[in-house]
Structure 1
Amino acid sequence: MKLSVIYPLPFFKACGAVIVSCLLLTACSKDFINLTPQSNQTTATFFKTASDFQQGVNAIYDGLQSTQTYGKAYYYLMEVRSDNSDIWDRGALAGVASQIDFFTEVTTNPFISDGYAGAYVIITRANAVLDQIDAAAIPDSSKKQFKGEALFLRALSYFNLVRLYGPVPLVIKTETTSQALNHKRNAAAEVYAQIENDLQTAASLLPAVYTNVNDYGRATAGSAYGLLGKVLVTEKKWPNALTALKNVGNTYSLVSDYADLYKPANIINTEMLFAVRFKKGLSPSEGNNYFADMVPVSFFYNGILYGGSNNNRPTRNLVAAYEAGDKRLGISLDTVYYNSATNLMKGNYVKKYLDVPGATNDGGSSFPVLRYADILLLQAEALNEQGYNGGTGDGTAFGYLNAVRRRAGLPEKTAVDLPDQASFRDAVFRERRVELAFENDRWFDLARNSKGVSVMQAHLQQEYGLTTPVLNTDRLLFPIPQSEINIHNDPASFPQNKGY
């Protein structure tokens, strides 16, 4: 299946919906002003044609590119938070990035606020489409696709929110500011139930493949089934997870060369179920700031000296996690770099997204959200959790694990190496770490692993020599942004997370 980049069209800036802080951030007018100027568009008046809905859906995708989400904040909250990466300049951004790394974050940390607000921007845009789509006088095929895409993207955002913050307001309709003021934190189980429902519906509406080249890169039925499977694994609903993961089908497969996954020119590939797409050289920009954020401070590359922040920097522990001969190591990261034409320096940096920007913060590498290798490892995990089986044939837990290892150039595992359920479980988590490094999975894998807290406590000690803070399961969630706590001012229905 081919996948391609989507370039979101400009979307109207209408007041309407969301979480109160998002409303304030976007400077929406007071809800007591009911008259709508004829020169302005609202969600109730904008959507008429298929083209209108296409613009609305493109605007949802556009939210994924934001620096509040996959454009920046998410890899601080999901990778730097873990034992995979750290911050080079620990005083950077007044230390707020280091707070995430060292578990010293305060409730006003801007990365925490950005991750929360950015997800609700996407949800708001999805709700704007979903509110209008059923009654729209547009072709049924377009209606199904647009609805499926909006449901998929809303589910993805809620999946990120509930894993980062726990119980969060469940907003599934466009709201006024006063309605948003009455939000409560819905239980995590309610949020997960909505995510499951959205993805099941999306999978029934979306096509397995797109025939129009302009649609390549949009969510498909396979994207929805794959994400649903990942959600169900997170909930430890093993049989249901396995069913969803198998429904991804044979549309996708591993690419033969791991390096090909991350080349901007080859982002159209059979393995990518869903990615956040960027492209450099456009005006207005559709690029990212990954290069400047991740390469070393003085980085000589292709005959030019660049300056970077060297954040999301691979840890020593991650480098040591790769087995001898693992092809993924040199593709995912490097431990040396040139700071001049002739001077080689020691230092770790991420290579997966190494694309020289066309201009400042205009890189073209895309960000993988869900790959077929992830699906294989999730299937291995789901099978093993339902009962250990030492068989190594196709369709077995060992078979799925070994498919990923073979591509990496590593020897296959057998029951001799992994003789029981616990050892196989540990092997899958190790494999996920190196296969999916810097793809925003490690923190969530640690959070759902019973060993996650002890792993991170050891990481603080070994990597930084820190014995404080003393971690517990409360620290598996970030705090709700203080702005939200202040606005709602209701400890009963809108409390802060424990430990903050």
Structure 2
Amino acid sequence: MKKIAGYSLIAVVGLLSACDKKLDQNPISSQATETFYVSRNDFIQGVNAAYNGLRTWPDRMLNLSETRSDNLYAVSDGGVREWEGINSFHKTIAGNAYVTEAWSGNYTGIFKANQLLENLSLKGAAVITDAGLRTRLEAEARFLRAFYYFDLVRWFGRVPVIERSVTPAEALQIGRSPVTDVYNLIISDLQFAAASLPEAYAAAADKGRATRYAAKGILALVYMTRSGPTYDIKGPGLGLNEWDKALTLLDEIINSKKYTFATKYADIFDYDKENNAEVIFDVQYNTGSTPVVGSTFPWLLVPDTWFQSQGKATQGGLTIRPISNNLLNSYESADTLRKPLTIQTGYTNNGVTETRSFFKKYVNLTRVPNNRLDWPINFIALRYTDVLMLKAECILHGATGTQAEVDAIVNQVRKRAGMEDPVSNITLPQLMEERRKEFAAEGTRWHDLVRSGLVETVMTNWITQEDVGKVMQPFQKNYILYPIPQSELDVKPGLYEQNLGY
């Protein structure tokens, strides 16, 4: 039997498709890999295909992190929407499309990475005479596999760990692995990537490929996430106190001098300044191609009526996902540069005035594409400001460093936002609030709350204050994790047990 490895039990099939990155590549068909991996370019196309799984990752961060957090009070006024169950902590979201996509999308990416790695092992030396290129391709694939598994463990906790091609019969015997086992693979892959990837790429066609500093940054975040509290839920936090391990990696990025703190906040997200010196790793898109491989995340949290009010075609955001009053009121009056770029407060369309606010950080009205699935902007997964603020977080958790270093980092960020008056003696909750405003609409908030140990207190208090419609369920720690998709549970009852609370 031909080996296949889709890993989502409902789609245990081999999948190869064109890469959606701005990388020099051609479409890959679903032909058998036995006949595909026969040339140097085939292997390059294979690793490019592994990047394909990143295409929906930004949408996932907005749907599952921003919407789950205290940044949005996402109660629909136009019928039942998928995001309502996410926002309101419904127990019946195992069939939610966003939850299902998080599982299947990541495992499709893992399949492609494993497929490339397996063929490198079997044929790579014979086909690719350049040992340096072989190592780089392996490191890229392992970086991506680790990226996808890290995404899975943060959403679902225990997940099946698969490092090779398996038959459908084998897949039906593979249950969920302990979180420690998932992390062991993630860390091994990222350590290899950090040691083997180049610091940068010379060719323009290679823009967007993972670098050693991207691997170090994600590995640092892995150590920080493992160091978070366990909550007794078999989730991403293991209470391991690896803050110094993370700090060492973050300092290596800082000391490399490869990246700089942008002078202007708006420049980070400028359509004409992609791949700027703030960007350590981003999800790249290419517009105007067939098939369409642009981005969809810019409009995801934006109501269609706002686009109409600006004379633009509707995009698909449908009704508004309002920003919470709690977040709106948290901005200081001097925060004059971040808030207007990130948030649209009110508009009028066809004589109807909308007073609620929504995120518009990545929207440029002069660049609205003809196809709503083809926006021409990348999504930043890790940027230099994040590295600086993660360093401050490590120090506050007891890693080597001083309060003065923490304060200096926060004041640097605040000054760029327009706040000249320095602050001192920053605490962990204060740092998280500063991160909340700095990275609003970038999908970090939920993970920040979980990692920092603040999620129970913050979300419980927030629901009490914000839920004027009385539609949200009381917060419980089991909701830190999402449910295993019902479609996966149904394939072979008993193989996966559902996460508690659902």
TM-score, normalised to structure 1's length? 0.86
- Alignment RMSD (CA, Å): 2.6
Amino acid at match of 1:148: A
Equivalent residue in structure 1 for 2:465, among 462, 487, 498: 462
Is 1:339 matched with 2:356? no
> Which residue of structure 2 aligns with residue 50 of structure 1?
40
* Aligned mates of 2:9, 2:45 — CA distance in 1: 25
> Which residue of structure 2 aligns with residue 479 of structure 1?
483
CA contact (8 A) 1:239 1:382 kept: yes
Equivalent residue in structure 1 for 2:203, among 206, 212, 231: 212
Q: CA deviation at 1:108?
A: 1.3
Is 1:285 matched with 2:292? yes
CA contact (8 A) 1:225 1:244 kept: yes
CA 1:181–1:323 in structure 2 vs 1: closer, same or farther (change >3 Å)? Answer: same
CA 1:226–1:292 in structure 2 vs 1: closer, same or farther (change >3 Å)? Answer: closer
CA contact (8 A) 2:243 2:399 kept: no
* Aligned mates of 1:320, 1:96 — CA distance in 2: 27
CA 1:451–1:358 in structure 2 vs 1: closer, same or farther (change >3 Å)? Answer: same
> Which residue of structure 2 aligns with residue 379 of structure 1?
391
CA 1:25–1:96 in structure 2 vs 1: closer, same or farther (change >3 Å)? Answer: farther
CA 1:109–1:467 in structure 2 vs 1: closer, same or farther (change >3 Å)? Answer: closer
SS of the aligned residue for 1:434 comes to helix
> Which residue of structure 2 aligns with residue 99 of structure 1?
85
* Aligned mates of 1:115, 1:91 — CA distance in 2: 25
Q: CA deviation at 1:281?
A: 2.5
Is 1:201 matched with 2:192? yes
Q: CA deviation at 1:402?
A: 2.5
Q: CA offsets per residue over residues 19-48 of structure 1, 9 Å max, x none?
A: 2435258799xxxxxxxxxx9732333212
Q: CA deviation at 1:254?
A: 1.5
Q: CA deviation at 1:311?
A: 4.8
* Aligned mates of 1:267, 1:405 — CA distance in 2: 23
Amino acid at match of 1:161: L
Structure 2 residue runs of 5 or longer lacking an equivalent are 17-28, 228-241
Q: CA deviation at 1:338?
A: 4.3
Amino acid at match of 2:32: T
> Which residue of structure 1 aligns with residue 339 of structure 2?
329
* Aligned mates of 2:408, 2:187 — CA distance in 1: 27
* Aligned mates of 1:266, 1:284 — CA distance in 2: 25
* Aligned mates of 2:88, 2:294 — CA distance in 1: 30
> Which residue of structure 2 aligns with residue 259 of structure 1?
266
Q: CA deviation at 1:122?
A: 0.5
CA 1:130–1:329 in structure 2 vs 1: closer, same or farther (change >3 Å)? Answer: same
Is 1:61 matched with 2:61? no
SS of the aligned residue for 2:132 comes to helix
* Aligned mates of 1:86, 1:152 — CA distance in 2: 35
Equivalent residue in structure 2 for 1:496, among 492, 495, 498: 498
> Which residue of structure 2 aligns with residue 275 of structure 1?
282
Is 1:84 matched with 2:71? yes
Q: How does 1:301-320 map to 2 (within 5 A)?
A: 304-307=311-314, 308-320=317-329
Q: CA deviation at 1:293?
A: 3.1
Is 1:227 matched with 2:208? no
SS of the aligned residue for 2:488 comes to helix
* Aligned mates of 1:344, 1:265 — CA distance in 2: 32
SS of the aligned residue for 2:98 comes to helix
Amino acid at match of 1:495: E
* Aligned mates of 2:72, 2:482 — CA distance in 1: 18
Amino acid at match of 2:497: P
Q: CA deviation at 1:471?
A: 2.0
* Aligned mates of 2:205, 2:473 — CA distance in 1: 50
Amino acid at match of 2:247: L
Q: CA deviation at 1:60?
A: 1.4
CA contact (8 A) 1:196 1:228 kept: yes
> Which residue of structure 2 aligns with residue 245 of structure 1?
250
Amino acid at match of 1:296: P
Q: CA offsets per residue over residues 403-424 of structure 1, 9 Å max, x none?
A: 322222224645xx42xxxx52
> Which residue of structure 2 aligns with residue 370 of structure 1?
382
* Aligned mates of 2:319, 2:441 — CA distance in 1: 14
SS of the aligned residue for 1:354 comes to coil
> Which residue of structure 1 aligns with residue 24 of structure 2?
none
> Which residue of structure 2 aligns with residue 10 of structure 1?
none
Is 1:152 matched with 2:146? no
Is 1:408 matched with 2:414? no
* Aligned mates of 1:82, 1:150 — CA distance in 2: 31
- Larger mean CA deviation between 111-120 and 281-290 belongs to 281-290
Q: CA offsets per residue over residues 184-214 of structure 1, 9 Å max, x none?
A: 1111111112111111100111110111111
CA 1:488–1:311 in structure 2 vs 1: closer, same or farther (change >3 Å)? Answer: farther
* Aligned mates of 2:422, 2:310 — CA distance in 1: 43
CA 1:214–1:312 in structure 2 vs 1: closer, same or farther (change >3 Å)? Answer: farther
Amino acid at match of 1:83: D
> Which residue of structure 2 aligns with residue 432 of structure 1?
435
CA contact (8 A) 1:280 1:358 kept: no
Q: CA deviation at 1:451?
A: 2.4
Amino acid at match of 2:440: A
CA contact (8 A) 1:353 1:366 kept: no
* Aligned mates of 2:185, 2:152 — CA distance in 1: 13
Q: CA deviation at 1:288?
A: 2.4
- Larger mean CA deviation between 51-60 and 399-408 belongs to 399-408
CA contact (8 A) 2:65 2:444 kept: yes
Q: CA deviation at 1:63?
A: 1.6
CA contact (8 A) 1:376 1:404 kept: no
CA 1:319–1:279 in structure 2 vs 1: closer, same or farther (change >3 Å)? Answer: farther
* Aligned mates of 1:43, 1:313 — CA distance in 2: 46
Moved over 4 A (4+): 24-28, 300-303, 342-345, 387-391
Amino acid at match of 2:76: D
Give aligned pairs, total: 461
CA contact (8 A) 1:461 1:467 kept: no
Amino acid at match of 1:18: G
SS of the aligned residue for 2:435 comes to helix
CA contact (8 A) 2:82 2:97 kept: yes
CA 1:473–1:343 in structure 2 vs 1: closer, same or farther (change >3 Å)? Answer: closer
CA contact (8 A) 1:23 1:177 kept: no
Q: CA deviation at 1:454?
A: 2.4
